[in-house]
Structure 1
Amino acid sequence: MSAELGRLLREVGAVLFDFDGPVCSIFAGYPAPQAAAELVDVLRRRGIDVPPDLASEADPLEVLRRTGAAGDYGVTRAVEDALCAAERRAVETAEPTPYGREAIVAARQAGMQVAAVSNNSAGALTAYLAAHRLTGHVSPVVGRAYAEPTRMKPNPEPILRAVRAVSLPANRCVLVGDSLTDVEGARAAGIRSIGYANREPKVRALRAAGADVVITSMGELARSLVALDSHGDSAER
């Protein structure tokens, strides 16, 4: 394992995983642009005049953010409900990230606590974890606050909820995430971060955002955690 990654892992007792990216590609079989377009249709059915840039938005989470920023809670709830339903459908065809499951299992075997912290809905996370026999490995599961998109990462609140649930100091927790919002949220929460970059431009972006370590495969993390366990580091946790 890389010395930098191994050193970080020896200093923490809990690994918090972002969901879409490190664990799976949630919209692999149900494309995110399709889900976003369906949310835009919800707005139109509500009589909302949708601007062109929002009409062409490919990220359903961004549609929710923009809706919330408009300030009509009833409309935000309608979009939230539609997004929760879309995510529940999406996890049925989500594509597991190579070595994502192995990293979760290895973290538990190394004596670490494992949590999920996501801007996706908790219902979608729970359904995926159950389908992939991971429910017993991951607790707590912290999803997006209902119809309050300002509380999504990079807001540190969901990360801090997970930190409180694992009952460890913030500096003994690390978040594994693939987006700038993950790294920014981790820094705001006072915890470490491992950036997962499956494309070269992401490596530079995550490093620039302040990720403590950047990996290009979840296999790197899984192998490092296995090495920790084999060296008996878990006994110190």
Structure 2
Amino acid sequence: MGSPSRKGTTTEEDLPPPSPDVSVLVPAHNEERTVGDCIERAMQTLEGRSLEYEIIVIDDGSTDSTHAYASEVAHTNGGTIRVLQHSARLGKGAALVAAARDARGKVVVVLDADLEYAPEEIVRLVEPILQGRSEIVFGSRFAGQLDGMSFAHFLGNRILTKATNPLYSARLTDVMTGYKAFQRTSFDRLKINRSAFTFEVEIAAKALKLGLRVNEVPITYRRRLAGQSKLRWTDGIRCLVHLLELKRVDESS
């Protein structure tokens, strides 16, 4: 036990823990088959690069054993992993905002629990930010390797990206990617308020409007092997409508 601090002085024990390099946010809804593997692979990747990190899993109202599996991994890894839980499903956007509220890292990375994105590629997204070259990094599936994306999913992604670029004078290839990294202060500036899937276009539109340095890196995408996709064709329409709404608000403000 350390000696008590004298009045008016601060000891090492009184200081808050140092901020990690990276906070990995893992939103999960009914992902019991993959969430444990996702966490462990992310840990191995970051430890292999000697990065200080934390992993925050947010169970968004799962009705399976997602919370139990994530908690089991967290229990065996001390305070490196934390598991938050929504009693009801609020949407991926709401889950990320809740997790980001607790995050302490200099860089925040979003990694889906379904393993469609490879945890081994986290560093590819993080490095440009840690090196001061970017404020936000999108992992582009279309600049990398695609494996098994459905035609409807492919078409919807391309349409939304093609719609975004002329609206915001951008040259992005994958607006709707779920694999993103943010400088923590830049994430806070976005003030995300969409709880559902439409938050993806909100991120892109607000980042471009603010003039943040948004870059892309190629990533590998493999269609999920376990469970079912949470996306429907109507989500794409909602995203397009929201994108146009955001632009209209920009022009009227």
**Shorter-normalised TM range:** 0.3 to 0.5
TM-score, normalisation: structure 1: 0.36
Identify which of structures 1 and 2 has the higher relative contact order when contacts are C-alpha pairs closer than 8 Å and 6+ apart: 1
TM-score, normalisation: structure 2: 0.34
Q: Highest CA radius of gyration, 1 or 2? A: 2
